[in-house]
Copies of this chain bind each other. A is one copy, B any other.
Amino acid sequence: MFRQRSPRVASSAVEKAYSEIRARIISGHLPQGARLKEEDLALEIGVSRTPVREAVRRLAQEGMVELRPNSGALVAKWSVDDLVQLFDLRATLEGSVASLAAERMDSATLATLRTLARTMEVTMREGGPHFLERIAELNDSFHKGILAAADSPRLSRMMAQLVELPIVLRTFNCYSEEELRRSLGHHVELVAAFEARDAVWAESVMKAHVLSAKHALVAAQRARESDTPLVATA
């Protein structure tokens, strides 16, 4: 729909290594704090150490992996405090994005977003298996659409980093029904704000949207207090 992060067919070895390692982190196959041994990964993925190294470095700069010089690389750990910081930052930045988007949005994009927002609501009502996953995907498209509408490459790059991370945290299992409903409501309200070309309104709703997600995530995390999977569908 919108420009996806990795449209390339993953032809290159480093791309292969990157997506593979990333997938393992997201799926939990490589849990937080796990050591990343270059040779093992290379062997398992079927490429040499060189592209694995490059992939790990990239993941490190994106914040998914922690690098220790001359020692090893670990899957980054996320404390409650980290999450709070992350989402506060996202609230600010995505707020700016929404503000910009409100001023620049064209009618085609608006229509697409409206459809996405509605579809999410329908999907929730219908329920069914994996409906959360489907909502998450739609949600992803929704946010990326807004980002694209803001038409601000530099902002996009920063956001990409911030938005990817919540996904790592085994996203969206921790919303209560009320919270999910509220979240989807935000989407609808955002569309209205865009339609009205009201930058301040859009920014405010977006901030609320992200901060509400933060709250849900943090509450869930605190409740468990252990290192079980986390979540959010902001």
Contact = CB atoms under 8 A, between A and B. Distances in A.
A12 B67 CA distance: 15
Interface residue SS majority, chain A: helix
Interface in A79-127: 82, 85-86, 88-89, 92-93, 96
Q: Within the oligomer, what is the number of copies of this chain?
A: 2
B63 A61 contact: no
Given A92-B93, A158-B158, A12 B63 contact: no
A197 B18 CA distance: 44
Contacts of A53: 54
A85 B158 CA distance: 12
Interface stretch (A37-45, A149-157, A169-177, A220-228): A149-157
Given A54-B54, A69-B12, A155 B85 contact: yes
B82 A92 contact: no
